[in-house]
Amino acid sequence: MTPEEEKTVRKRQRSRAIVTGLILGGLALLFYLITLTKLMVAS
């Protein structure tokens, strides 16, 4: 693999990792908000 191809692959992996992290963070926030809402409705 040439250095240029390697750079492209690393860039793609990095952007994919960032997107995955954002999705996981969004899901965690969503679960947190759902739980908070359920607790407020129950009391």
pLDDT value at residue 1: 87
Question: How far apart (Å, rounded) are the C-alpha atoms in residues 38 and 30?
Answer: 12
Alpha carbon dihedral 23, 29, 33, 38, in 10-degree steps, equals: 80
- Taking only the tens place, the pLDDT of each residue in 1-43 is 899 999 999 999 999 999 999 999 999 999 999 999 999 998 7
Write down the pLDDT at residue 43. Answer: 78
Does the pTM surpass 0.85? The reply is: no
Domain extents in the chain: 1-43
